[in-house]
Structures are given as structure tokens and as C-alpha cells.
Amino acid sequence: MQTRKLGTLEVSALGLGCMGMSFAYGPVPDKRASIALLHAAVERGVTFFDTAEIYGPYVNEELVGEALAPFRERVVIATKFGFAIGPDGKQAGTDSRPEHIREVAEASLKRLRVETIDLFYQHRVDPTVPIEEVAGALKELAQQGKIKHYGLSEAGAETIRRAHAVHPVTALQSEYSLWWREPETEILPTLEELGIGFVPFSPLGRGFLTGKMDATTQFAADDFRNRLPRFTAEARDANRALVNALASIATRKHATPAQIALAWLLAQRPWIVPIPGTRKLDRLEENLGAASLELMPDDLRDIEKALAAIEIHGARYPQDLQTTVNR
């Protein structure tokens, strides 16, 4: 597995998003199966693993901590703070007060079974707490050895600059894929200027870009995608044009649509590290194959040409969740 740099932090060119092992995508798999998958990822060269306290909540950090304990010196674990969690275990708004950040850090250290957190993200910008206060609290945690690096998620360019001025930001994590390219306008130029790495989540469009779903696909009752406008049956049917275009290029490259989508992201900048999530070994191996797939200039031009002729249908989030990604 090739490696890349997020700021000064070196990680595998593709990471593994662990959220789905405990949260958001229907019934969770058996714990032993998830641990086996995490071990398989390490064996195949993955060194970058992504979790968060809100995933579960808490249980995903515990899973990742237990599974990766034998490999602690070989892996980089990223986790996140920034949400208030109610007594019922549900998200209760944002909370990035410095005292809360410190509480979450201490709890995450225990759940992850580590002495320091490799990369600690603010999960969402808190409109009630100046980003300078957030960055200041993270700087103190770094000075205390509780964290090595910190990052932001779904933050806007000005917020990134203000945080970076207090203490260097290592990485930004935001959604970015062939069907959500908004970061290209302001975010990527800002990150390049400041030397900050970029970690795209949902690089496969929450599974849609794999080509494995269509208008007839049924999701489990508790699958998060049931709430997303982009995943209505009508939107999925309309958006098949994008997958069909990827499939055409994939055939030419002896690859899969998922591999083309990930290879396209890797080709955008050398400091981009996607974190596709999966719960299956065959999907893990398919995704990792993208790291050795080289898209030539003609391939990239063909992808751009195809995208220019396709209109993506459906909003990324429903209206009640838009505030959590408002930059």
C-alpha cells in the first residue's frame, strides 16, 4: 500500500471508515466479524482508521480500540468530538465548548485504549463557540500529549484559516466524490495553500457509486439513507446515468465503478486520502485495488466529459440536517 501525507501525518493512501460497523447503515454485523475485517485491513496495508464518539454512540470507538490494540504502533486512528449526546444516546446538537472537548478526549483515550489520539477532529463546526477557542483547547491537548494532530470536518474556508492561525490544522474531513464536488470551489485551494490534508468521507456516495443499487433497492428500516433526498427511488433511478458512465470507463480499465471513483479522487491531489467504509472483505479488497489503479489524462478527461452531461438529482441532506453542514 502506498502512503500519503496529511500535513506531516503519514498514512496509507486509502483509509477505512469504520462508522458502518456500528451505526447508520442498518443492522450491525457481529463484533467478531468486524474485528476480523479490521485485522484484514491492517494485513493488507491500511494504516488509517476513522471512528467517532457519536458512532453508536461510543461502541464504534470501543470496537476500533479493541481490534487495533495489537497493531498500535502500525496504525493511525482518527476520532471526533463536537456533538452533545443525550441520555437516550441520540445526538443533541453541537457542543465544542473547551471543557467538553477535554471530557471527550479523556473518554476517547480510554475507549480507544491509547495514550494519545493520533488525529482528533471537530465533527461539525459549533456556531456558538468561536473556532479560535476550539483550536486553543486542541492546542493545549497537543501540548499535554493527549492528541498528536487535530482536524476539522465540514468546515468552510474562513473557519479553516482562523483555526489554522491558532494551531496548525492537519486535515479536513468533508464529503467529496464524483457526485458531490462542492469542495473544489474554495476548500481544495485553501487546503493546498495552507498545507492541510483532505480526507473525503462517503467517497463512494454512501455506496451508490459502486453500481450495486438501483431504484428497486430496499434499505433496512434504520438505514440512514432512507432520510436522504438523494436516495429516493426517483433520484436513484435518475442518478444511474453517473454509474453507467463510470461502468463504461471501468470496463476499459478492467476495473469496477467503485475503483474508478476512488482512483479519480486519488488523482485530484497527492494529499487526498479517501476513507471508504465497508463491512465486507470482498468490498475491502475491491476498494484497496483502487490504490494501484492509474487513471491516465485521457481517462480523467473522459470522466469530466461524462460528468458535464449529467445532472445529479436529490439534495445531499434533508432540510433538518442542513444546519449541521452549513459552513
pLDDT digits (tens, 9 = 90+) for 59-118: 999 999 999 999 999 999 999 999 999 999 888 999 999 999 999 999 999 999 999 999
CA within 13 Å, CB half, 318: 8
What values do phi and psi take at 78, rounded to 5?
Answer: -105, 135
Tell me which of 55, 121, 150, 176 is the catalytic residue.
55
Which pLDDT belongs to residue 319? 83
Contacts of 252 (CB under 8 A, 6+ apart): 299
Which pLDDT belongs to residue 4? 98
Q: Is the pTM of this model over 0.85?
A: yes
55 is catalytic: yes
The rounded distance, in Å, linking the Cα atoms of 118 and 222 is: 31
Domain 3-325: which topology?
A: TIM Barrel (3.20.20)
Enter the C-alpha cell of residue 195: 498545507
pLDDT digits (tens, 9 = 90+) for 215-251: 999 999 999 999 999 999 999 999 999 999 999 999 9
Q: Burial of 127 by CB count in 10 Å (0-12 exposed, 13-18 middle, 19+ buried)?
A: exposed
Which pLDDT belongs to residue 326? 55
Which pLDDT belongs to residue 218? 95
Which pLDDT belongs to residue 320? 79
Q: Are 97 and 56 spatial neighbours (Cβ–Cβ below 8 Å)? A: no
Across 152-165, b (16+ Cβ under 10 Å) vs e yields bbbbbbebbebbbe
Which pLDDT belongs to residue 8? 97
Which pLDDT belongs to residue 324? 64
The rounded distance, in Å, linking the Cα atoms of 39 and 71 is: 9
Length of the chain: 327
Q: For residue 103, give the amino acid letter.
A: E
Instruction: Give me the residue spans of the domains in the chain.
Output: 3-325
Q: Are 248 and 175 spatial neighbours (Cβ–Cβ below 8 Å)? A: no
Q: Is 160 helix (H, G, I), strand (E, B) or coil?
A: helix
Residue ranges in the chain modelled with pLDDT below 50: none
Q: For residue 235, give the amino acid letter.
A: A
Q: Is 266 helix (H, G, I), strand (E, B) or coil?
A: helix
SS3 of 196-240: CEEEEECCCHHHHHHCCCCCCCCCCCCEHHHHCHHHCHHHHHHHH
The rounded distance, in Å, linking the Cα atoms of 105 and 110 is: 9
